[in-house]
Structure 1
């Protein structure tokens, strides 16, 4: 018998409490609430590690990221709001002893503020991908912004070479794909042929190839 589509996740992280999200037996059981709980669990793991490096094992962080991609790819865009992240901040603080809470309060605020920027970019991109997946040959694609932390600012708009139409996407050069990969912190099938790289870029954009 096949296992569940998404296994529930539960990890105790000491003073920072528990990181957890709901599961789903089938893809059809992935509700907006499940998507939100998975996304917030993934970003809570990043916030905890931002405050105390290594508190959440790399394998757990990677599993949460895979789970997030799984539920997002199987459903529509899910908006994670400022209220959600305020609740995340409160949850982290509640799990920390009062005698050390004041010392790391600024770190918590900075980590959650960074998560809000990242989730804003994430929400923008999921909406853009949804629109791109439904765009016809004559419609312009919605541009995606930088979603990963790194040398490029979160939410940064792409270079001008971002494909605006199907013709742009099917003729974009290898060098321009490399430039976009650097901007987004992706690879887009770095060692493959230019056609395969275009397909990888299309998948990233949410475009049906």
Structure 2
């Protein structure tokens, strides 16, 4: 009795750059067992197309121009038990981006510098429910697990946002209805948690980790 070959992985691409989508489609056409069933340029398009195309995997960029970003789209796509797996493919490997994507339900997180065969394997793994991480991403996650950083409090987030606007201590105190001494105390804690020594350094790290509204 002959054995039927496995069904190809139904893949939906989501990237806001048409050239990138065309390149990925051309690349994936050379892979055995992967069938690109659609292309979306926005998170909203990805949700609509996934609803009627029923892909096994959505290859998702994080940074999408206008409207819904990749993290929000990932959260929506993976909300139900019957939803597709989402495999992030991005240029960004900051701790904040990785954490947000994984918490949103992404099955894997790959960088666009990945080799084609690694991408093909990750797509097949994602379709089977197995996780897939680029080596640099896995290293960052392990480092973070070994050396967890304390989270900023709600007040510290507020002060950091005012700091990013270029406000001084007195102006921050007035804006948040607290004393300058309290502002200084919070700034000291923020510097310690972000491992910086200056206001500019705090803002730079906050932007890298996407801690600012």
Quickly name the TM-score band, shorter chain normalised: 0.3 to 0.5
Q: TM-score, structure 2 length as denominator?
A: 0.34
* Higher percent of residues as helix: 1
Bigger Cα Rg? 2
* Higher percent of residues as strand: 2
